[in-house]
């Protein structure tokens, strides 16, 4: 029997019992739709994280204190206050592949402006910070090297801070108070958005690190050093170069470093690993609906075999072989699975768009996942339709003809 004839007969059999067929396919429809929506949310999260990591800067390398092991126990990043301005100067003076470097002194304190006060993060940085983070100003300019050398009280505001302290006006040239010191605003940064951890990148005030060490901490300890290379291809080699220089500076003899050097690829890999696990978990949970739908197809096909026993007997009596009957019922279950998959595809695509619209989450619908979902729904039809089809093919024609 031709495949086109088998598909036509399968479609006719489904149309004869539209309501039953629809209810049978409902599990497949919900399963495919759930898989597409869940994976779209997971892929959207991965895409958003990649975008946020790329927003961190250009070929950025992050150096933090710590990560040494003592007695076989990893102490973790920032476990030791052992990065200093001498380390920054050594890297700046001796590293061949590092094109920009900046210490980062971090503090969190209320800032007083024209419209009131706003608690925010204060970062003491060098002039290279804007290059490393690829962060431009929308108003004014970044502070200059002379401001850093002279410990001047100048500040560059993130967009969030600017909007809260100076709503509907350009704050450049105005003053803010950080603790007991008055700072002159020289620039406002462009919008960066959220970080990969969900915090607001724009909720920050940048000041010279020399001023920050006096105003914020009074310590020589540097909690973080940022660096970058001119070319992306140089990042790995620059990491090794920085590690060698810091080991020399810290007089490290063994294998364990007392600092950590990471780049954006490391951050992206860690973030992608966690989101990949989340996506697979969501897809696995949603796939349970497909299995439930497959069981529904098997149950209905078994009922169909019982109802059509006499029809099967007539087909066999006029020359149909067992393999023909098996193929006919198997095609019916496959058609039912694929139709359910296509309906689920439309519902899942629509559902992903609706979820993204009402929640504000970014959703990315993968064409590959769409094809896999429909293919899997067809495979479910094959798997759960085979037993009823085999049962139909094994009927005795004489007994089938006598069945009432």
In the 3-class helix/strand/coil scheme, how is the chain assigned residue by residue? CCHHHHHHHHHHHHHHCHHHHHHHHHHHHHHHHHHHHHHHHHHHHHHHHHHHHHCCCCCEEEEEEECCEECCEECCECCCCCCCHHHHHHHHHHCCCEEEEEEEEEEEEEEEECCEEEEEEEEEECCCHHHHCCCCEEEECCCCHHHHHCCCCEEEECHHHHHHHCCCCCCCCCEEEECCEEEEEEEEECCCCECCCCCECCCEEEEEHHHHHHHHHCCCCCCEEEEEECCHHHHHHHHHHHHHHHHHHCCCCCCCCCEEEEEHHHHHHHHHHHHHHHHHHHHHHHHHHHHHHHHHHHHHHHHHHHHCHHHHHHHHHCCCCHHHHHHHHHHHHHHHHHHHHHHHHHHHHHHHHHHHHHHCCCCCCCHHHHHHHHHHHHHHHHHHHHHHHHHHHCCCHHHHHCCC
Owner of token pair 């969190």: 108
Residue 274 in this model has a pLDDT that exceeds 70: no
Supply 387's token pair: 């037993």
Q: State the angle between helix axes of 322-359 and 264-307 in degrees (0 to 180), rounded to the nearest 10.
A: 140
Residue 71 in this model has a pLDDT that exceeds 50: no
**Which comes out higher in pLDDT, residue 254 or 242?**
242
pLDDT for 120 equals: 94
Looking at the DSSP bridge assignments, the partners of residue 185 are 155
Percent of the chain with pLDDT over 90: 27
Residue 167 in this model has a pLDDT that exceeds 50: yes
Residue 250 in this model has a pLDDT that exceeds 90: no
Contact yes or no for 67/77 (Cβ under 8 A): yes
Out of 46-60, 75-89, 203-217, the most confident range is 203-217
Out of 137-141, 255-259, 271-275, 384-388, the most confident range is 137-141
Percent of the chain with pLDDT over 70: 82
**Which comes out higher in pLDDT, residue 269 or 59?**
59
The string of pLDDT tens digits covering residues 253-263 is: 877 888 888 88
How far does Cα 43 stand from its chain's mean position? Answer: 6
Confidence of residue 104 (pLDDT cuts 50, 70, 90): very high
Residue 366 in this model has a pLDDT that exceeds 80: no
Residue 148 in this model has a pLDDT that exceeds 50: yes
Neighbours of 363 (CB within 10 A): 24
pLDDT for 68 equals: 45
Residue 116 in this model has a pLDDT that exceeds 60: yes
Ranking 80-84, 117-121, 215-219 by mean pLDDT, the lowest is: 215-219
Out of 228-237, 279-288, 295-304, 320-329, the most confident range is 228-237
pLDDT for 36 equals: 85
Ranking 11-25, 81-95, 141-155 by mean pLDDT, the lowest is: 11-25
Q: Which residues contact 174 (CB under 8 A, 6 or more apart)?
A: 113, 114, 166, 184, 185
Q: Which residues contact 326 (CB under 8 A, 6 or more apart)?
A: 389, 390, 392, 393
Average pLDDT in the chain? 80
167: left (phi over 0), alpha (psi -120 to 50) or beta: beta
Residue 165 in this model has a pLDDT that exceeds 90: yes
User: What's the average model confidence in pLDDT over 190-214?
Assistant: 83
**Which comes out higher in pLDDT, residue 270 or 111?**
111
pLDDT for 369 equals: 77
Separation of alpha carbons 42 and 46, rounded Å: 6
Supply 252's token pair: 């490290």
pLDDT for 404 equals: 53
User: What's the average model confidence in pLDDT over 146-174?
Assistant: 93
Residue 77 in this model has a pLDDT that exceeds 90: no
Burial 308-338 (b: 16+ CB within 10 A, else e): bbebbbebbeeebeeeebbbbbbbbbbbbbb
Residue 217 in this model has a pLDDT that exceeds 70: no
Q: Which residues contact 83 (CB under 8 A, 6 or more apart)?
A: 63, 64, 65, 103, 221, 222, 223, 224, 225, 259
Ranking 34-38, 53-57, 124-128 by mean pLDDT, the lowest is: 53-57
Out of 181-185, 211-215, 359-363, the most confident range is 181-185
Contact yes or no for 46/276 (Cβ under 8 A): yes
User: What's the average model confidence in pLDDT over 70-78?
Assistant: 48
User: What's the average model confidence in pLDDT over 84-105?
Assistant: 92
Ranking 70-74, 208-212, 353-357 by mean pLDDT, the lowest is: 70-74
Owner of token pair 């023909």: 324
- Closest-CA residue to 103 (of 180, 229, 231, 206): 206
The string of pLDDT tens digits covering residues 336-350 is: 888 888 888 899 888
User: What's the average model confidence in pLDDT over 16-39?
Assistant: 80
């Amino acid at each position: 029997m031709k495949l086109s004839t088998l598909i036509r007969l399968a479609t006719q059999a489904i149309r004869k019992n539209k309501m039953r067929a629809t209810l049978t396919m409902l599990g497949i429809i919900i399963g495919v739709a759930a898989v597409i929506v869940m994976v779209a949310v997971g892929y959207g999260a991965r895409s958003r994280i990649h975008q946020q990591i790329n927003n961190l800067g250009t070929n950025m390398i992050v150096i933090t204190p710590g990560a040494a092991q003592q007695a076989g126990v990893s102490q973790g990043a920032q476990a030791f206050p052992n990065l200093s301005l001498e380390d920054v100067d050594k890297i700046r003076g001796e590293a061949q592949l590092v094109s920009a470097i900046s210490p980062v002194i971090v503090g969190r304190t209320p800032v007083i402006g024209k419209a009131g006060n706003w608690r925010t993060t204060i970062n003491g940085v060098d002039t290279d910070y804007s290059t490393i983070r690829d962060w431009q100003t929308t108003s004014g300019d970044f502070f200059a090297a002379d401001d850093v050398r002279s410990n001047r009280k100048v500040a560059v505001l993130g967009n969030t801070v600017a909007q809260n302290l100076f709503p509907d006006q350009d704050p450049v040239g105005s003053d803010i108070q950080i603790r007991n010191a008055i700072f002159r605003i020289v620039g406002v940064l462009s919008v960066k958005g959220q970080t990969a951890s969900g915090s607001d990148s724009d909720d920050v005030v940048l000041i010279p690190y020399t001023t920050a060490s006096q105003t914020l901490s009074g310590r020589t300890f540097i909690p973080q050093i940022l660096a970058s290379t001119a070319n992306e291809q140089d990042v790995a080699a620059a990491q090794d170069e920085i590690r060698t220089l810091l080991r020399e500076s810290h007089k490290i003899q063994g294998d364990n470093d007392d600092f950590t050097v990471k780049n954006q690829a490391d951050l992206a890999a860690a973030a992608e690993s966690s989101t990949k696990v989340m996506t697979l978990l969501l897809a696995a949970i949603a796939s349970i609906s497909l299995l439930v739908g497959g069981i529904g197809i098997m149950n209905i096909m078994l009922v169909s075999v019982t109802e059509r026993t006499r029809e099967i007997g007539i087909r066999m009596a006029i020359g149909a072989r067992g393999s023909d009957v098996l193929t006919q019922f198997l095609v019916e279950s496959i058609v039912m699975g694929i139709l359910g998959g296509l309906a689920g595809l439309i519902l899942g695509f629509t559902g992903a768009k609706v979820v993204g619209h009402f929640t504000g989450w970014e959703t990315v619908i993968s064409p590959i996942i769409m094809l896999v979902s429909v293919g899997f729904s067809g495979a479910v039809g094959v798997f759960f339709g085979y037993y009823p089809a085999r049962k139909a093919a094994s009927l005795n024609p004489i007994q089938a003809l006598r069945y009432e």
